[in-house]
Amino acid sequence: MSVVIISGSCGLIGSEAVSFFAGLGFDVVGIDNNMRKYFFGIDGSIAWNKLRLQKEHKNYRHYSVDIRDSGKVDKIFRKFSKDTALIIHTAAQPSHDWAAREPKVDFTVNANGTLNMLEAARIHCPKAVFIFTSTNKVYGDRPNSLPVEELEKRFELPKEHKFHQGIDESMSIDNCLHSLFGASKVAADILAQEYGKYFGIKTVIFRGGCLTGPAHSGAQLHGFLSYLIKCCISGKTYTIFGYKGKQVRDNIHSFDLVNAFYHFFKNPRCGEVYNIGGGRHANVSVLEAIEICEDISRKRMNYEYSEKSRIGDHIWWISDCSKFKSHYPDWHYKYNIEDTIKEIYQMQKTTL
């Protein structure tokens, strides 16, 4: 068993996983048909990343396949069959706003596509580990009911609140507004859990906060830090949507997340769920992120404010990763928020 199959292999997390596992000597099979370009236009295209991966990793094999095509997905899994040790499913439609434009496309990519991946794994490589990248948006807007306090540059929970260190997996996903994107990811999330609990497949669901890193093809509708830094470098006006720019996000670097994947892979469980993100180690408000960008670039950013917040958007989100850390105590963060922003800035500075 030496093959790793990665869907969304040229996106942020997928490409990080390609480099990580190819570097360990695995044969890596990538599935990616560049639907990000369809979702977000040329800014979202991952064509550049595909070329980079093919150039840097001779043990990377690419398939331009749509995960909604069950026949083609099944053919790939059948080809590698019991040689497959690990599946990392990152392919998705990732935007609240885009999902409302084309709900059927959003749902078939996120839910049906995940079902196709799970079923192919069950039939052809049931002993392989299956990692699914879910999202904190499965909790809908429930975090917005938390009693946050308004500070100068951010909203914040009182120190005595049980979620001050971060929101854990005990928060309910029911009876709240999810956005259509959140709903399609809930469906995929539950499917992945069920294939673990019902069929005994070694599935894990990582409910991520903001996932980020230098390989992100950021666009206005998705990729907060990447797009912010792109605007900083180009001089393009950045739009803050609602909450006075004080909304808080925890941001986890793609390397730290894929390293968490690796720790799970070495000692897997069935149907497990983890909140994963930057936690208290790496979080930032929009205003704070703009300030860091200005410090790094040594120039003022152009930005404007829209009173209308995005439907289902979180006012405050910090992940409590203590459950994952308790199961995998050897996993640690490599990047804090400043390190991450500097790395994205340096990469984009040389390519834009």
Q: What is the chain's mean pLDDT, rounded?
A: 95
Query: Which residues fall within 8 angstroms of residue 14, CB to CB, at 6 or more apart?
Result: 6, 7, 8, 30, 32, 88, 90, 91
| Strongest mean pLDDT among 272-276, 310-314, 343-347 | 272-276
80-83 contacts: CB < 8 A, separation 24 or more? 80/3, 80/5, 80/29, 80/124, 80/125, 81/124, 81/125, 82/1, 82/124, 82/125, 82/127, 83/1, 83/2, 83/3, 83/27, 83/125
pLDDT for position 352? 64
Band the pLDDT of 220: cuts 50, 70, 90: confident
What is the average pLDDT across 134-141? 96
What is the average pLDDT across 181-197? 98
pTM confidence score? 0.95
Q: Domains, the chain, ranges and CATH?
A: 3-351 (3.40.50.720)
Band the pLDDT of 126: cuts 50, 70, 90: very high
pLDDT higher than 90, residue 1: no
Task: State the first-to-last Cα distance of the chain, in angstroms, to the nearest integer.
Answer: 40
Query: Which residues fall within 8 angstroms of residue 258, CB to CB, at 6 or more apart?
Result: 13, 16, 17, 20
pLDDT higher than 70, residue 76: yes
Q: Output the six-digit token pair for 84.
A: 């497959």
pLDDT, tens only, 303-332: 999 998 887 789 999 999 999 999 999 999
pLDDT, tens only, 89-103: 999 999 988 999 999
